[in-house]
A and B are shown apart, each in its own frame.
Chain A
Amino acid sequence: MEVCESFNNLTEAALQKKDGEGTPRSGNQKKASAAQLRITKDLSELNLPKTCSTEFPDPDDLLNFKLVICPDEGFYKGGRFIFSFKVGPNYPHEPPKVKCETQVYHPNIDQQGNVCLNILREDWKPVLTINSIVYGLQYLFLEPNAEDPLNKEAAEVLTTNRRVFEQNVQKAIRGGYVGGIYFDRCLK
């Protein structure tokens, strides 16, 4: 009912309102977008694990940045992997676009840098944050998942022979050919 009453005032106000009159001008600066409000919050509360750091080429542009992961344990220990984040105007309704810029021998990352992480696509929810993605990506390096592969060859090696997989990963990190594909050196 409260709404109805105020609504009536509203119409009265509207009836009295003439073009542009009675409403103070608030200057021409634009209000921050919902995506901007949210990303400011996300980044202010970014709590990076010690293996991760961020790079902002333009500090005024919080919507485009890079995440660097240097795993200190597991198969990928010693490597340095760079991910680009593009946060769109529809954030957090839609997830940011995340690509791996470093060539990596990994069952869940392909040669084009596409990353198979459920919260980046089908399981994204607006309550998730940049932090959630950082932890998701970090986890991919600790526990590569052979069951939903993007790089089938790597996944097969991981299931059949973990020792060979580990050697392949380290070879790729140091730079060189693994399974006919050349990997750039990405040692920390």
Chain B
Amino acid sequence: MEEVKESHQKRWIHLKKVLERPGPFTHPEFEPSPDILDFILSTCKILIIGAGGLGCELLKDLAMMGFKHIDIIDMDIIDLSNLNRQFLFRHKDIGVSKAQVAANYINARIAGCQVTPHCCPIEDKKEDFYRGFHIIVCGLDSITARRWINGMVVSLLNYDDNGVLDQSSIIPLVDGGTEGFKGNARVILPGMTACVECTLDLYPPQVTYPLCTIANTPRLPEHCVEYVKVVQWPKENPFGVALDGDDAQHTTWIYEKALERANQFNIHGVTFRLVQGVVKNIIPAVASTNAVISAVCATEVFKLATSCCTPLNNFMVFNDIDGIYTYAYEAEKKDNCTVCSNIPHPVDIDDPCKMKLKDLIDFLCENIKFQMKNPGLTTTIDGKSKTLYIPTIKMIEERTRPNLSKTLIDLGLRDGQEIVVADVTTPTSVIIKLRYTISDVEIN
């Protein structure tokens, strides 16, 4: 096929200079080879999460860098207010899926590029989907989504019986984030370096105001908006539905009530834009910040995919409010991180048709490795959480007591099932992984 010749094209001459010869700044174990360019052009699969401000930049950067197999996932549709910075979208695209339009644009514009769009929430995709990528890069504006994908890449890790990480199960996560003129980029090697959960306190919590202040002594226009949103809306429930920040009718109602309240307290500055900002918790997006952060992320993806240079270790912050300020530091992996330090402990089960939940709990209490006192157990079956037994809460204890005399099979627990165990003897919940010595087939 023509792909054999592809890497000889003049188009890649600059990449070849970096990838096919040694240099003073390369990774110490880097071995120059034409295979690396081939890997980028024909094998490497990248997933971009988010097709918004950062996502458009990331997709353009990576596609032009030579990555050909790119998937992009975003559930959002294009809105008029996106067009100033989400440059893959045009006026005619309003109302259409972001991922779809972005993919079409790049596929039409960049020769040989195969972008596959996914117009759905990231939670709709399962492990097998995410496992298919070499690197995942995120341009998200939500902490919840970041925590979700972080949990996903950690759950894809494989450990052997001694708790040693299988390197080939690592899918690096490159994460960019921007807020106005501030941004950050980070590289996460799941199981090895600090993950999103390890550094959760780095993400500022949503701005909140004391309830009594907004109720009685408002001073800021934001206090008035927040009051209408938190107190007046649930009280009057004007449209009989939950507040939707994207519904113009809702925002207008809040705006009018907030203005009334502001006049009452002689506060100035309640505008429609402010209302939109407070209701949707929007921080104005700046196109240049997105461009900088995406460029950093794309460079990190390139370094990870090629080994040509040591990757960012591991957190970089950027600020261009006054001049330009940037620095990088090593965010520390937490030994007690509930997500990435929570390596599942394998527990061998001889006969799950005979072993009862009570036996499993006795095992956790008596086994020298666990020595638990009074553990509570929950699990997830087909995506739904299930409480197996929690002794410390009266109502749950009574309702789950019958589980104690059921066998693991009767409880729907399968080979490889992960069970969350919480006990006073450990600072965080631990995860055990059931391993049946007889196979599922034999059980059935």
Residues of chain A whose beta carbon lies under 8 Å from any beta carbon of chain B: 3-20, 22-34, 36-38, 40-41, 43-46, 53-56, 59-62, 89-90, 93-94, 108, 110-112, 114-116, 118, 120-122, 124, 126, 148-150, 152
> Does chain A have a CB within 8 A of B104?
no
Chain A residues, CB < 8 A from B132: 19-20
**Could you tell me the distance between the alpha carbons of A6 and B167 in the complex, rounded to whole angstroms?**
8
**Could you tell me the distance between the alpha carbons of A28 and B380 in the complex, rounded to whole angstroms?**
10
Chain B residues, CB < 8 A from A3: 189, 192-193, 313-314
A90 touches B144 (CB 8 A): yes
Chain A residues, CB < 8 A from B383: 29-30
B338 touches A17 (CB 8 A): no
Partner of A38, one of B213, B215, B338: B338
* A93-B143 CB under 8 A given contacts A3-B192, A8-B27, A23-B158: yes
19 A-B pairs with C-beta separation under 8 A? A6-B167, A7-B27, A8-B29, A11-B305, A20-B128, A23-B158, A27-B416, A29-B380, A32-B431, A41-B422, A41-B429, A46-B393, A60-B386, A60-B387, A89-B148, A112-B231, A121-B211, A122-B210, A150-B211
> Does chain A have a CB within 8 A of B357?
no
B212 touches A116 (CB 8 A): yes
Chain B residues, CB < 8 A from A7: 27, 189, 304, 307, 310-311
> Does chain A have a CB within 8 A of B13?
no
A37 touches B342 (CB 8 A): yes
Q: How many residues of B contact A (CB 8 A)?
A: 93
Chain A residues, CB < 8 A from B45: 19
CB interface residues, B 116-153, toward A, < 8 Å: 126-128, 131-132, 134, 143-144, 147-148, 151-152
Please give the distance in Å from A108's CB to the nearest CB on chain B: 7
B420 touches A45 (CB 8 A): no
B234 touches A112 (CB 8 A): yes
**Could you tell me the distance between the alpha carbons of A110 and B211 in the complex, rounded to whole angstroms?**
10
A10 touches B418 (CB 8 A): no
User: A27's closest neighbor in chain B, by CB?
Assistant: B416
**Could you tell me the distance between the alpha carbons of A114 and B232 in the complex, rounded to whole angstroms?**
11
Digitize B1-41: 1 where CB-to-A-CB distance is under 8 Å, 0 elsewhere. Answer: 00000000000000000000000000111100001000100
> Does chain A have a CB within 8 A of B276?
no
User: B383's closest neighbor in chain A, by CB?
Assistant: A30
**Could you tell me the distance between the alpha carbons of A44 and B44 in the complex, rounded to whole angstroms?**
44
Please give the distance in Å from B375's CB to the nearest CB on chain A: 7
CB interface residues, B 374-391, toward A, < 8 Å: 375-376, 378-387, 390
B399 touches A59 (CB 8 A): yes
Chain B residues, CB < 8 A from A118: 210
**Could you tell me the distance between the alpha carbons of A18 and B30 in the complex, rounded to whole angstroms?**
21
A10 touches B378 (CB 8 A): no
Chain B residues, CB < 8 A from A9: 167
**Could you tell me the distance between the alpha carbons of A19 and B133 in the complex, rounded to whole angstroms?**
8
User: B206's closest neighbor in chain A, by CB?
Assistant: A94
A45 touches B424 (CB 8 A): yes
> Does chain A have a CB within 8 A of B106?
no
- Among B81-89, B197-205, B253-261, the stretch that binds chain A is B197-205
